[in-house]
Structure 1
Amino acid sequence: MSNPIEEGKKLAAYQAVDDYITADHKVVGIGSGSTVVYVVERILQKPELKHIVYVPTSFQSKLLILEGGLTLGSVEQYQEIDVTIDGADEVDEELNAIKGGGACQFQEKLVAEAAKKFVIVADFRKKSKKLGTEWTKGVPIEVVPMTYKSVMKSIATKLSFKPISSKLRMAVNKAGPVVTDNGNFVIDTHFGALEDPAKLLRELKLLTGVYEVGLFCNMAEKAYFGEENGSVSILSK
Protein backbone atom coordinates (compact mmCIF):
# COMPACT_ATOMS: atom_id res chain seq x y z
CA MET A 1 0.00 0.00 0.00
CA SER A 2 1.77 3.14 -1.24
CA ASN A 3 -0.61 5.75 0.19
CA PRO A 4 0.69 6.67 3.68
CA ILE A 5 -2.72 8.02 4.79
CA GLU A 6 -4.42 4.74 3.91
CA GLU A 7 -1.57 2.79 5.52
CA GLY A 8 -2.00 4.83 8.72
CA LYS A 9 -5.78 4.28 8.74
CA LYS A 10 -5.24 0.57 8.27
CA LEU A 11 -2.73 0.35 11.14
CA ALA A 12 -5.02 2.39 13.44
CA ALA A 13 -8.00 0.13 12.64
CA TYR A 14 -5.93 -3.03 13.13
CA GLN A 15 -4.62 -1.83 16.50
CA ALA A 16 -8.12 -0.87 17.70
CA VAL A 17 -9.40 -4.36 16.83
CA ASP A 18 -6.40 -6.03 18.48
CA ASP A 19 -6.82 -3.94 21.66
CA TYR A 20 -10.60 -4.00 21.98
CA ILE A 21 -12.19 -7.09 20.38
CA THR A 22 -11.54 -10.38 22.12
CA ALA A 23 -12.79 -13.94 21.74
CA ASP A 24 -14.98 -13.66 24.86
CA HIS A 25 -17.04 -10.85 23.32
CA LYS A 26 -20.54 -11.71 22.12
CA VAL A 27 -21.76 -8.56 20.29
CA VAL A 28 -19.67 -5.89 18.54
CA GLY A 29 -20.81 -2.69 16.80
CA ILE A 30 -19.29 -1.88 13.41
CA GLY A 31 -19.38 1.78 12.38
CA SER A 32 -19.34 3.55 9.04
CA GLY A 33 -16.73 5.22 6.86
CA SER A 34 -13.51 4.47 5.04
CA THR A 35 -11.50 3.39 8.11
CA VAL A 36 -14.09 0.78 9.10
CA VAL A 37 -13.26 -1.24 5.97
CA TYR A 38 -9.92 -2.02 7.68
CA VAL A 39 -11.68 -2.83 10.97
CA VAL A 40 -13.65 -5.61 9.25
CA GLU A 41 -10.55 -6.68 7.31
CA ARG A 42 -8.70 -7.22 10.60
CA ILE A 43 -11.63 -9.09 12.19
CA LEU A 44 -11.66 -11.48 9.22
CA GLN A 45 -7.96 -12.22 9.79
CA LYS A 46 -8.75 -13.51 13.30
CA PRO A 47 -10.75 -16.77 13.25
CA GLU A 48 -11.34 -16.55 17.02
CA LEU A 49 -13.68 -13.57 16.34
CA LYS A 50 -15.91 -15.43 13.85
CA HIS A 51 -18.55 -16.42 16.45
CA ILE A 52 -19.30 -12.79 17.44
CA VAL A 53 -22.53 -11.09 16.32
CA TYR A 54 -21.78 -7.83 14.49
CA VAL A 55 -24.22 -4.90 14.57
CA PRO A 56 -23.88 -2.38 11.70
CA THR A 57 -24.54 1.37 11.78
CA SER A 58 -25.26 1.73 8.06
CA PHE A 59 -25.96 -0.09 4.82
CA GLN A 60 -22.21 0.12 4.11
CA SER A 61 -21.21 -1.69 7.31
CA LYS A 62 -24.06 -4.18 6.88
CA LEU A 63 -22.61 -5.14 3.49
CA LEU A 64 -19.09 -5.43 4.93
CA ILE A 65 -20.41 -7.81 7.61
CA LEU A 66 -22.42 -9.94 5.17
CA GLU A 67 -19.72 -10.05 2.48
CA GLY A 68 -17.21 -11.11 5.13
CA GLY A 69 -19.44 -14.04 6.11
CA LEU A 70 -19.85 -12.70 9.66
CA THR A 71 -23.04 -12.98 11.75
CA LEU A 72 -25.28 -9.95 11.33
CA GLY A 73 -27.28 -8.57 14.25
CA SER A 74 -29.32 -5.46 15.00
CA VAL A 75 -29.92 -3.10 17.92
CA GLU A 76 -33.47 -4.46 18.16
CA GLN A 77 -32.00 -7.88 19.00
CA TYR A 78 -29.03 -6.71 21.07
CA GLN A 79 -29.50 -3.69 23.29
CA GLU A 80 -26.14 -4.34 24.97
CA ILE A 81 -23.00 -4.31 22.85
CA ASP A 82 -19.52 -5.15 24.19
CA VAL A 83 -17.67 -2.56 22.10
CA THR A 84 -18.38 -0.36 19.08
CA ILE A 85 -15.59 0.77 16.75
CA ASP A 86 -16.43 3.64 14.41
CA GLY A 87 -14.83 6.38 12.36
CA ALA A 88 -15.28 10.14 12.76
CA ASP A 89 -15.13 13.32 10.70
CA GLU A 90 -13.38 15.26 13.47
CA VAL A 91 -12.22 14.49 17.03
CA ASP A 92 -11.21 17.12 19.61
CA GLU A 93 -8.77 16.82 22.51
CA GLU A 94 -11.62 15.79 24.85
CA LEU A 95 -12.63 12.93 22.51
CA ASN A 96 -15.81 14.71 21.43
CA ALA A 97 -16.51 13.96 17.77
CA ILE A 98 -18.41 15.19 14.74
CA LYS A 99 -19.91 12.31 12.77
CA GLY A 100 -22.46 12.11 10.01
CA GLY A 101 -20.48 13.14 6.95
CA GLY A 102 -21.88 9.93 5.47
CA ALA A 103 -25.40 10.72 6.79
CA CYS A 104 -25.49 7.72 9.18
CA GLN A 105 -25.42 9.70 12.44
CA PHE A 106 -28.62 8.26 13.94
CA GLN A 107 -27.66 4.58 13.65
CA GLU A 108 -24.08 5.41 14.60
CA LYS A 109 -25.21 7.06 17.83
CA LEU A 110 -27.66 4.26 18.61
CA VAL A 111 -24.97 1.59 18.29
CA ALA A 112 -22.37 3.71 20.12
CA GLU A 113 -24.72 4.36 23.06
CA ALA A 114 -25.59 0.66 23.34
CA ALA A 115 -21.91 -0.23 23.71
CA LYS A 116 -20.06 -0.62 27.00
CA LYS A 117 -17.02 0.86 25.21
CA PHE A 118 -16.93 3.23 22.23
CA VAL A 119 -13.69 3.54 20.25
CA ILE A 120 -12.87 5.82 17.31
CA VAL A 121 -10.51 5.08 14.44
CA ALA A 122 -9.53 7.84 12.01
CA ASP A 123 -6.59 9.41 10.22
CA PHE A 124 -4.51 12.35 11.47
CA ARG A 125 -6.50 14.88 9.42
CA LYS A 126 -9.48 14.33 11.74
CA LYS A 127 -7.66 15.56 14.88
CA SER A 128 -8.30 19.09 16.17
CA LYS A 129 -8.10 21.15 19.34
CA LYS A 130 -11.75 22.25 18.96
CA LEU A 131 -14.55 20.71 16.88
CA GLY A 132 -15.41 22.85 13.88
CA THR A 133 -11.85 23.87 13.06
CA GLU A 134 -10.77 21.00 10.77
CA TRP A 135 -14.23 19.78 9.72
CA THR A 136 -15.79 22.94 8.30
CA LYS A 137 -18.64 21.33 6.33
CA GLY A 138 -20.79 21.73 9.44
CA VAL A 139 -22.47 19.70 12.15
CA PRO A 140 -24.82 17.18 10.49
CA ILE A 141 -28.36 17.69 11.80
CA GLU A 142 -30.84 15.01 10.71
CA VAL A 143 -34.37 16.40 10.41
CA VAL A 144 -37.85 15.18 9.52
CA PRO A 145 -38.30 16.34 5.88
CA MET A 146 -41.41 18.48 6.39
CA THR A 147 -39.62 20.48 9.12
CA TYR A 148 -36.36 21.35 7.38
CA LYS A 149 -37.28 24.98 6.71
CA SER A 150 -38.59 25.62 10.21
CA VAL A 151 -35.52 23.92 11.72
CA MET A 152 -33.21 26.06 9.59
CA LYS A 153 -35.05 29.15 10.83
CA SER A 154 -34.75 27.96 14.45
CA ILE A 155 -31.03 27.30 13.98
CA ALA A 156 -30.61 30.88 12.81
CA THR A 157 -32.67 32.47 15.60
CA LYS A 158 -33.11 30.26 18.69
CA LEU A 159 -29.64 28.99 19.63
CA SER A 160 -27.03 30.60 21.86
CA PHE A 161 -24.56 29.56 19.11
CA LYS A 162 -24.59 31.69 15.94
CA PRO A 163 -24.28 29.68 12.73
CA ILE A 164 -21.72 30.77 10.13
CA SER A 165 -23.46 28.77 7.40
CA SER A 166 -26.40 26.39 7.25
CA LYS A 167 -27.57 24.42 4.24
CA LEU A 168 -29.64 21.43 3.25
CA ARG A 169 -27.31 18.65 2.08
CA MET A 170 -27.91 17.89 -1.57
CA ALA A 171 -27.30 14.56 -3.27
CA VAL A 172 -24.43 14.32 -5.74
CA ASN A 173 -25.75 11.98 -8.43
CA LYS A 174 -29.44 12.66 -7.90
CA ALA A 175 -31.58 15.75 -8.18
CA GLY A 176 -32.65 16.78 -4.69
CA PRO A 177 -31.53 16.41 -1.10
CA VAL A 178 -29.61 13.56 0.53
CA VAL A 179 -32.07 11.14 2.17
CA THR A 180 -30.81 9.17 5.19
CA ASP A 181 -31.46 5.46 5.84
CA ASN A 182 -34.36 6.71 8.00
CA GLY A 183 -35.94 8.73 5.19
CA ASN A 184 -34.86 12.08 6.65
CA PHE A 185 -32.95 15.12 5.38
CA VAL A 186 -29.62 16.47 6.67
CA ILE A 187 -28.84 20.10 7.40
CA ASP A 188 -25.10 20.88 7.64
CA THR A 189 -24.54 23.85 9.95
CA HIS A 190 -21.09 25.31 10.57
CA PHE A 191 -20.69 27.16 13.88
CA GLY A 192 -16.92 27.67 13.79
CA ALA A 193 -14.77 26.38 16.66
CA LEU A 194 -16.99 24.84 19.35
CA GLU A 195 -16.06 25.70 22.94
CA ASP A 196 -18.94 23.64 24.33
CA PRO A 197 -20.16 20.99 21.85
CA ALA A 198 -22.28 19.25 24.52
CA LYS A 199 -24.28 22.44 25.08
CA LEU A 200 -24.84 22.86 21.35
CA LEU A 201 -26.00 19.25 21.14
CA ARG A 202 -28.56 19.82 23.92
CA GLU A 203 -29.89 22.99 22.26
CA LEU A 204 -30.21 21.38 18.84
CA LYS A 205 -31.98 18.30 20.18
CA LEU A 206 -34.67 20.51 21.71
CA LEU A 207 -35.68 21.92 18.32
CA THR A 208 -38.90 20.37 16.99
CA GLY A 209 -38.15 18.35 13.87
CA VAL A 210 -34.57 17.46 14.79
CA TYR A 211 -34.18 13.68 14.65
CA GLU A 212 -30.51 13.37 15.61
CA VAL A 213 -27.33 15.46 15.68
CA GLY A 214 -23.88 14.35 14.58
CA LEU A 215 -22.20 15.51 17.79
CA PHE A 216 -20.86 12.63 19.90
CA CYS A 217 -19.97 14.14 23.27
CA ASN A 218 -18.48 12.33 26.28
CA MET A 219 -18.91 8.95 24.58
CA ALA A 220 -15.56 7.70 23.28
CA GLU A 221 -12.96 6.32 25.66
CA LYS A 222 -10.14 6.12 23.11
CA ALA A 223 -9.28 7.26 19.58
CA TYR A 224 -6.67 5.69 17.29
CA PHE A 225 -5.24 7.94 14.57
CA GLY A 226 -3.26 6.82 11.57
CA GLU A 227 -0.45 9.34 11.22
CA GLU A 228 1.01 10.71 7.99
CA ASN A 229 4.23 8.75 8.49
CA GLY A 230 2.33 5.45 8.81
CA SER A 231 2.46 5.26 12.61
CA VAL A 232 -0.49 5.21 15.05
CA SER A 233 -1.15 7.75 17.80
CA ILE A 234 -3.66 7.14 20.58
CA LEU A 235 -5.78 9.65 22.48
CA SER A 236 -7.38 8.44 25.73
CA LYS A 237 -9.80 9.88 28.26
Structure 2
Amino acid sequence: MSDAAVESAKRAAAQQAVKDHFDPTATNVGIGSGTTIVYVVEAIKQVSTNPAIRFIPTGYQSRQVIVQAGLTPVAFDSLPEDTMFDVAFDGADEVDAELNCIKGGGACLFQEKLVAERAKKFVCVADYRKKQDRLLTVWPTIPIEVAPIAVPTVLKGLRTLGSNNPKLRTTLLEKSGPLKTDQDFFIVDAPFKTLLCESDVKAGKGKGDGSDGTWEVNKLSEAVKALTGVLEVGIFSGLNGPDAEKIRSTDGVRTVTSGQKPVAVYFGMQDGTVEVRTAK
Protein backbone atom coordinates (compact mmCIF):
# COMPACT_ATOMS: atom_id res chain seq x y z
CA MET A 1 0.00 0.00 0.00
CA SER A 2 1.18 3.51 -0.78
CA ASP A 3 1.89 6.16 1.82
CA ALA A 4 -1.19 8.01 0.57
CA ALA A 5 -3.37 4.95 1.21
CA VAL A 6 -2.02 4.60 4.75
CA GLU A 7 -2.70 8.27 5.49
CA SER A 8 -6.19 7.93 4.04
CA ALA A 9 -6.81 4.97 6.35
CA LYS A 10 -5.65 6.99 9.36
CA ARG A 11 -7.95 9.89 8.44
CA ALA A 12 -10.96 7.61 8.01
CA ALA A 13 -10.38 5.99 11.41
CA ALA A 14 -9.93 9.36 13.09
CA GLN A 15 -13.10 10.80 11.62
CA GLN A 16 -15.18 7.81 12.71
CA ALA A 17 -13.70 7.77 16.22
CA VAL A 18 -14.36 11.47 16.70
CA LYS A 19 -17.90 11.11 15.35
CA ASP A 20 -18.62 8.31 17.83
CA HIS A 21 -16.84 9.63 20.93
CA PHE A 22 -16.25 13.40 20.82
CA ASP A 23 -18.85 15.56 22.56
CA PRO A 24 -18.73 19.25 21.49
CA THR A 25 -19.88 20.15 25.01
CA ALA A 26 -16.97 18.31 26.66
CA THR A 27 -14.81 20.08 29.23
CA ASN A 28 -11.49 18.19 29.07
CA VAL A 29 -10.20 16.11 26.16
CA GLY A 30 -6.88 14.25 26.10
CA ILE A 31 -4.88 14.35 22.88
CA GLY A 32 -2.14 11.80 22.34
CA SER A 33 0.92 11.83 20.13
CA GLY A 34 1.83 10.56 16.69
CA THR A 35 0.85 10.94 13.07
CA THR A 36 -2.70 9.61 13.42
CA ILE A 37 -3.56 12.19 16.07
CA VAL A 38 -3.14 14.97 13.49
CA TYR A 39 -6.27 13.61 11.82
CA VAL A 40 -8.11 13.31 15.15
CA VAL A 41 -7.54 16.99 15.86
CA GLU A 42 -8.52 17.83 12.28
CA ALA A 43 -11.81 15.97 12.75
CA ILE A 44 -12.44 17.63 16.13
CA LYS A 45 -11.89 21.06 14.60
CA GLN A 46 -14.51 20.30 11.95
CA VAL A 47 -17.03 19.56 14.68
CA SER A 48 -16.17 22.25 17.24
CA THR A 49 -13.74 25.09 17.92
CA ASN A 50 -15.28 25.77 21.34
CA PRO A 51 -12.55 27.70 23.22
CA ALA A 52 -13.99 26.50 26.54
CA ILE A 53 -12.86 22.92 25.85
CA ARG A 54 -9.46 22.22 27.37
CA PHE A 55 -7.26 19.89 25.35
CA ILE A 56 -4.56 18.09 27.31
CA PRO A 57 -1.55 17.07 25.18
CA THR A 58 0.79 14.18 25.89
CA GLY A 59 3.91 15.97 24.70
CA TYR A 60 5.40 18.78 22.66
CA GLN A 61 4.22 17.46 19.30
CA SER A 62 0.59 17.03 20.30
CA ARG A 63 0.55 20.47 21.93
CA GLN A 64 1.71 22.02 18.66
CA VAL A 65 -1.04 20.18 16.77
CA ILE A 66 -3.64 21.55 19.21
CA VAL A 67 -2.29 25.11 18.95
CA GLN A 68 -2.12 25.04 15.16
CA ALA A 69 -5.76 23.94 15.05
CA GLY A 70 -6.78 26.99 17.07
CA LEU A 71 -7.84 24.92 20.05
CA THR A 72 -6.93 25.50 23.71
CA PRO A 73 -4.08 23.39 25.16
CA VAL A 74 -3.77 22.94 28.92
CA ALA A 75 -0.85 21.29 30.72
CA PHE A 76 -1.67 18.04 32.49
CA ASP A 77 -0.13 19.15 35.78
CA SER A 78 -2.05 22.45 35.79
CA LEU A 79 -5.34 20.68 36.45
CA PRO A 80 -6.63 19.66 39.90
CA GLU A 81 -5.83 16.05 40.78
CA ASP A 82 -9.48 15.00 40.73
CA THR A 83 -10.13 16.36 37.23
CA MET A 84 -11.29 13.61 34.89
CA PHE A 85 -11.14 13.92 31.12
CA ASP A 86 -14.31 13.25 29.17
CA VAL A 87 -12.33 11.27 26.61
CA ALA A 88 -8.76 10.77 25.45
CA PHE A 89 -7.77 9.98 21.87
CA ASP A 90 -4.43 8.40 21.04
CA GLY A 91 -2.74 6.09 18.57
CA ALA A 92 -0.80 2.86 19.08
CA ASP A 93 2.12 0.96 17.61
CA GLU A 94 0.27 -2.36 17.86
CA VAL A 95 -3.03 -3.62 19.31
CA ASP A 96 -4.02 -7.20 20.14
CA ALA A 97 -7.35 -9.03 20.16
CA GLU A 98 -8.02 -8.03 23.79
CA LEU A 99 -7.28 -4.32 23.12
CA ASN A 100 -3.91 -4.34 24.86
CA CYS A 101 -1.62 -1.80 23.18
CA ILE A 102 2.06 -1.16 22.63
CA LYS A 103 2.86 2.55 22.66
CA GLY A 104 6.05 4.56 22.85
CA GLY A 105 7.40 4.47 19.33
CA GLY A 106 7.27 8.26 19.49
CA ALA A 107 8.84 8.32 22.99
CA CYS A 108 5.80 9.91 24.71
CA LEU A 109 4.59 6.81 26.54
CA PHE A 110 4.78 8.21 30.09
CA GLN A 111 2.59 11.24 29.43
CA GLU A 112 0.34 9.16 27.17
CA LYS A 113 -0.32 6.78 30.04
CA LEU A 114 -0.95 9.64 32.47
CA VAL A 115 -3.60 11.05 30.15
CA ALA A 116 -5.17 7.68 29.31
CA GLU A 117 -5.54 6.80 32.99
CA ARG A 118 -7.18 10.15 33.78
CA ALA A 119 -9.80 9.72 31.02
CA LYS A 120 -13.27 8.36 31.58
CA LYS A 121 -12.67 6.52 28.33
CA PHE A 122 -9.60 6.13 26.12
CA VAL A 123 -10.25 5.71 22.40
CA CYS A 124 -7.44 4.40 20.21
CA VAL A 125 -7.12 5.34 16.53
CA ALA A 126 -4.81 3.45 14.16
CA ASP A 127 -4.39 2.07 10.67
CA TYR A 128 -4.66 -1.56 9.57
CA ARG A 129 -0.93 -2.24 10.04
CA LYS A 130 -1.38 -1.98 13.82
CA LYS A 131 -4.17 -4.59 13.98
CA GLN A 132 -2.81 -7.92 15.22
CA ASP A 133 -4.07 -10.82 17.33
CA ARG A 134 -1.07 -10.67 19.71
CA LEU A 135 1.39 -7.98 20.71
CA LEU A 136 4.92 -8.22 19.30
CA THR A 137 3.66 -9.91 16.16
CA VAL A 138 4.99 -7.23 13.80
CA TRP A 139 6.07 -4.40 16.11
CA PRO A 140 9.46 -5.64 17.36
CA THR A 141 9.98 -4.20 20.85
CA ILE A 142 8.49 -2.86 24.07
CA PRO A 143 9.50 0.81 24.59
CA ILE A 144 10.50 1.54 28.19
CA GLU A 145 11.25 4.96 29.69
CA VAL A 146 14.29 4.75 31.96
CA ALA A 147 16.30 7.07 34.22
CA PRO A 148 19.66 7.70 32.48
CA ILE A 149 21.72 6.53 35.47
CA ALA A 150 19.78 3.25 35.57
CA VAL A 151 20.17 2.18 31.94
CA PRO A 152 22.82 -0.55 32.59
CA THR A 153 20.78 -1.91 35.50
CA VAL A 154 17.58 -2.00 33.45
CA LEU A 155 19.28 -3.60 30.44
CA LYS A 156 20.60 -6.38 32.68
CA GLY A 157 17.18 -6.83 34.26
CA LEU A 158 15.49 -7.06 30.87
CA ARG A 159 17.91 -9.72 29.72
CA THR A 160 17.14 -11.66 32.90
CA LEU A 161 13.43 -11.44 32.05
CA GLY A 162 14.15 -12.97 28.64
CA SER A 163 14.59 -9.99 26.35
CA ASN A 164 17.02 -10.69 23.56
CA ASN A 165 19.35 -7.74 23.07
CA PRO A 166 17.46 -4.75 24.53
CA LYS A 167 18.93 -1.50 23.27
CA LEU A 168 19.12 2.15 24.24
CA ARG A 169 17.37 4.24 21.58
CA THR A 170 19.58 6.84 19.95
CA THR A 171 18.63 9.90 17.94
CA LEU A 172 18.52 9.80 14.15
CA LEU A 173 21.87 11.53 14.24
CA GLU A 174 23.62 8.84 16.26
CA LYS A 175 26.56 11.01 17.25
CA SER A 176 24.08 13.18 19.19
CA GLY A 177 23.63 10.34 21.66
CA PRO A 178 20.53 8.76 23.26
CA LEU A 179 17.09 10.10 22.46
CA LYS A 180 15.65 12.09 25.38
CA THR A 181 11.99 12.15 26.38
CA ASP A 182 10.08 15.20 27.57
CA GLN A 183 11.15 14.13 31.09
CA ASP A 184 14.84 14.05 30.07
CA PHE A 185 14.76 10.27 30.47
CA PHE A 186 15.98 7.70 27.94
CA ILE A 187 14.10 5.03 25.98
CA VAL A 188 15.12 1.38 25.98
CA ASP A 189 13.56 -0.83 23.30
CA ALA A 190 13.24 -4.42 24.50
CA PRO A 191 12.37 -7.31 22.17
CA PHE A 192 10.46 -10.27 23.57
CA LYS A 193 8.70 -13.27 22.05
CA THR A 194 5.12 -12.64 20.92
CA LEU A 195 3.06 -11.96 24.05
CA LEU A 196 0.17 -14.06 25.26
CA CYS A 197 -3.28 -12.70 26.03
CA GLU A 198 -5.10 -13.62 29.23
CA SER A 199 -7.26 -16.02 27.21
CA ASP A 200 -4.13 -17.82 25.96
CA VAL A 201 -3.00 -18.53 29.51
CA LYS A 202 -6.47 -19.77 30.46
CA ALA A 203 -6.38 -22.06 27.41
CA GLY A 204 -3.05 -23.53 28.55
CA LYS A 205 -0.93 -22.07 25.76
CA GLY A 206 1.76 -21.04 28.23
CA LYS A 207 2.27 -20.05 31.84
CA GLY A 208 2.75 -16.41 30.87
CA ASP A 209 4.98 -15.62 33.85
CA GLY A 210 8.30 -16.00 32.04
CA SER A 211 9.14 -19.33 33.67
CA ASP A 212 8.54 -21.26 30.45
CA GLY A 213 9.72 -18.56 28.09
CA THR A 214 6.24 -17.09 27.61
CA TRP A 215 4.95 -13.79 28.91
CA GLU A 216 1.36 -12.66 29.25
CA VAL A 217 0.84 -8.96 28.54
CA ASN A 218 -0.05 -7.83 32.07
CA LYS A 219 2.57 -9.98 33.79
CA LEU A 220 5.37 -8.69 31.57
CA SER A 221 4.30 -5.10 32.11
CA GLU A 222 4.36 -5.63 35.89
CA ALA A 223 7.76 -7.35 35.80
CA VAL A 224 9.38 -4.61 33.72
CA LYS A 225 7.80 -1.83 35.78
CA ALA A 226 9.28 -3.42 38.91
CA LEU A 227 12.85 -2.94 37.64
CA THR A 228 14.53 -0.12 39.55
CA GLY A 229 15.00 2.85 37.26
CA VAL A 230 11.97 2.25 35.04
CA LEU A 231 9.62 5.21 34.90
CA GLU A 232 7.01 3.62 32.65
CA VAL A 233 6.42 0.68 30.30
CA GLY A 234 4.94 1.05 26.82
CA ILE A 235 2.31 -1.63 27.42
CA PHE A 236 -1.24 -0.36 27.96
CA SER A 237 -3.15 -3.23 29.50
CA GLY A 238 -5.34 -4.30 32.39
CA LEU A 239 -8.64 -2.46 32.72
CA ASN A 240 -10.23 0.31 30.73
CA GLY A 241 -11.68 3.42 32.37
CA PRO A 242 -15.32 2.30 32.74
CA ASP A 243 -14.32 -1.11 34.14
CA ALA A 244 -11.88 0.46 36.61
CA GLU A 245 -14.63 2.79 37.81
CA LYS A 246 -16.85 -0.19 38.69
CA ILE A 247 -14.33 -2.04 40.85
CA ARG A 248 -14.88 -1.58 44.56
CA SER A 249 -14.17 -3.68 47.61
CA THR A 250 -16.94 -5.40 49.56
CA ASP A 251 -17.33 -2.31 51.77
CA GLY A 252 -17.79 -0.05 48.73
CA VAL A 253 -14.31 1.50 48.70
CA ARG A 254 -12.62 2.08 45.33
CA THR A 255 -9.74 -0.39 45.04
CA VAL A 256 -8.67 0.53 41.49
CA THR A 257 -8.24 4.18 40.60
CA SER A 258 -7.77 4.13 36.83
CA GLY A 259 -7.71 2.13 33.62
CA GLN A 260 -5.29 2.35 30.72
CA LYS A 261 -6.78 0.14 28.00
CA PRO A 262 -8.98 1.68 25.29
CA VAL A 263 -12.72 1.10 25.27
CA ALA A 264 -12.54 0.91 21.48
CA VAL A 265 -9.91 0.81 18.75
CA TYR A 266 -10.65 2.27 15.31
CA PHE A 267 -8.63 0.76 12.48
CA GLY A 268 -8.63 2.44 9.08
CA MET A 269 -8.49 -0.42 6.58
CA GLN A 270 -6.93 -0.77 3.11
CA ASP A 271 -10.30 -0.66 1.35
CA GLY A 272 -11.35 2.64 2.93
CA THR A 273 -13.60 1.13 5.59
CA VAL A 274 -13.13 1.43 9.35
CA GLU A 275 -13.06 -1.63 11.57
CA VAL A 276 -13.83 -1.18 15.25
CA ARG A 277 -12.70 -3.44 18.06
CA THR A 278 -14.52 -2.84 21.33
CA ALA A 279 -14.10 -4.08 24.87
CA LYS A 280 -15.86 -7.41 25.43
TM-score bracket for this pair, using the shorter chain length: over 0.9
Greater alpha carbon shift after TM alignment, 14-23 vs 69-78:
69-78
Please tell me whether residue 221 in structure 1 is matched to residue 224 in structure 2.
no
Structure 1 segments of 4 or more deviating over 4 A? none
TM-score (norm 2): 0.80
The one of 86, 100, 122 equivalent to 2:126 is: 122
Please tell me whether residue 200 in structure 1 is matched to residue 224 in structure 2.
no
Three-state SS of the structure 2 residue aligned to 1:45 is helix
Code of the aligned partner of 1:149: P
- Aligned pairs (5 A) from 1:41-190: 41-47=42-48, 49-78=50-79, 79-136=83-140, 138-157=141-160, 159=161, 162-175=162-175, 176-190=177-191
CA distance in structure 2 between the aligned counterparts of 1:97 and 1:133, rounded to whole angstroms: 12
* Partner in structure 2 of residue 211 of structure 1: 231
CA distance in structure 1 between the aligned counterparts of 2:20 and 2:65, rounded to whole angstroms: 21
Three-state SS of the structure 2 residue aligned to 1:201 is helix
Q: Give the root-mean-square deviation of aligned CA atoms.
A: 1.5
1:174 Cα offset (Å): 5.0
Code of the aligned partner of 1:152: L
The question of whether the paired residues in 2 share the 8 Å contact of 1:5 and 1:230 is answered with no
The question of whether the paired residues in 1 share the 8 Å contact of 2:24 and 2:48 is answered with no
CA distance in structure 2 between the aligned counterparts of 1:5 and 1:155, rounded to whole angstroms: 34
CA distance in structure 2 between the aligned counterparts of 1:206 and 1:47, rounded to whole angstroms: 42
CA distance in structure 1 between the aligned counterparts of 2:4 and 2:182, rounded to whole angstroms: 31
Three-state SS of the structure 1 residue aligned to 2:30 is strand
CA distance in structure 2 between the aligned counterparts of 1:34 and 1:121, rounded to whole angstroms: 10
CA distance in structure 2 between the aligned counterparts of 1:10 and 1:38, rounded to whole angstroms: 5
The question of whether the paired residues in 2 share the 8 Å contact of 1:105 and 1:213 is answered with yes
Identity of aligned pairs, percent? Answer: 46
CA deviation map 1:25-67 (0-9, x unaligned): 1000000111000001111112364431100001110001111
The question of whether the paired residues in 1 share the 8 Å contact of 2:159 and 2:165 is answered with no
CA distance in structure 1 between the aligned counterparts of 2:150 and 2:133, rounded to whole angstroms: 33
CA distance in structure 1 between the aligned counterparts of 2:153 and 2:165, rounded to whole angstroms: 16
The question of whether the paired residues in 1 share the 8 Å contact of 2:49 and 2:71 is answered with no
Distance 1:8 1:205, change over 3 A: same
Could you list the runs of 5+ residues in structure 2 that have no partner in the other structure?
Answer: 197-215, 239-260
Q: Report which of the two has the higher share of strand.
A: 1
Larger Rg over CA atoms: 2
Three-state SS of the structure 1 residue aligned to 2:125 is strand
Distance 1:153 1:97, change over 3 A: same
1:77 Cα offset (Å): 2.9
